[in-house]
Amino acid sequence: MVEERQEVVADPMNPGQPIVLLHKEELKETVTVIPDEQYEDEIKLDNKILPGERVTIMVYNQSSTETQQLTSMITTRGGSVNNSTITSSDNLGILVAKDGSVRLPLVGKVKISGMTEDDASQYLNTLYQQYLREPYVTVQLTNQRIFVLGEVEKQGVVQITNGTMSLIEAIARSNGLTDYAQRTNIKILRGDLRHPEVRVVDLTKMDSIRLTSLVLQPNDIVYIQPRPMKGYNMAFDELSPPFKLLASILQPFVNITYLKENL
């Protein structure tokens, strides 16, 4: 078993400047191989609602027995029931409590954690049949996201808008890799951060890409570490200003000496 070192590794030319995160003792980490069966399960995975996530719940009802028109009865789209103007994705919908429940009009406190969006919709539809003639309920997760760090042009949070996301899409939404990005050792951290599952992806070889999985899950952390050259360049950039200042101070004296010797 490889022994973990400290999370932050200092640049050897500049001990005060941390360069590489999530470092391991071995010189080169091997690409994570995902069996075909596991890959098939991952691409078919239906995301389940978890405590701490936000969901948008819409409840419709048939207007009358003579028409098929649906009327919106209840909405949690804006962070509170009915007519809210909140539009931030962090506040959109209602928060699933720590016990996995949400509070809704008519049905009260309902536990929906552990269910997929479709399962929660069917469950709530059954509950609302006690109060509405022909209810139709939709449930949608609203704040699913990926965290992209390291050598990308735009680090930060990437929202999942279509239910799934690949590593390539996450990088593209981060405006691509920088020139310093180490493309052979991209890390994906998943699950409990105390004991995370760490996957290593090499984007430079098609054979390696075929053996791994580029499918991301909500709350994954993607880290693109820098190439060693970045540390040397940073050290050079920090050391060069004093030499430039010294050169600018000595330049007049050099010019005077040159003129004296050539006149």
Over residues 2-23, the pLDDT tens digits come to 444 444 444 444 444 455 666 5
The answer to whether residue 82 scores a pLDDT higher than 60 is: no
Rounded to an integer, the average pLDDT of 117-141 is 91
Rounded to an integer, the average pLDDT of 163-179 is 91
Res 187: pLDDT: 93
Over residues 179-233, the pLDDT tens digits come to 889 998 899 999 888 888 999 999 988 888 888 889 998 889 999 988 876 655 5
pLDDT above 70: percentage of residues in the chain? 66
Res 6: pLDDT: 44
Per-residue H/E/C for the chain: CCCECCCEEEECCEEEEEEEECCECCCCCCCCCCCHHHHHHHHCCCCECCCCCEEEEEEEEEEECCEEEEEEEEECCCCCCCCCCCCCCCCCCEECCCCCEEEECCCEEEECCCCEHHHHHHHHHHHHCCCCCCEEEEEEECCCEEEEEECECCCEEEECCCCCEEHHHHHHHCCCECCCEEEEEEEEEECCCCCCEEEEECCCCHHHHHHCCCEECCCCEEEEEECHHHHHHHHHHHHHHHHHHHHHHHHHHHHHHHHHHHC
The answer to whether residue 243 scores a pLDDT higher than 70 is: no
pLDDT above 90: percentage of residues in the chain? 33
The answer to whether residue 41 scores a pLDDT higher than 60 is: yes
Res 205: pLDDT: 87
Res 3: pLDDT: 44
Looking at every residue in the chain, the average pLDDT score rounds to: 77
Res 99: pLDDT: 94
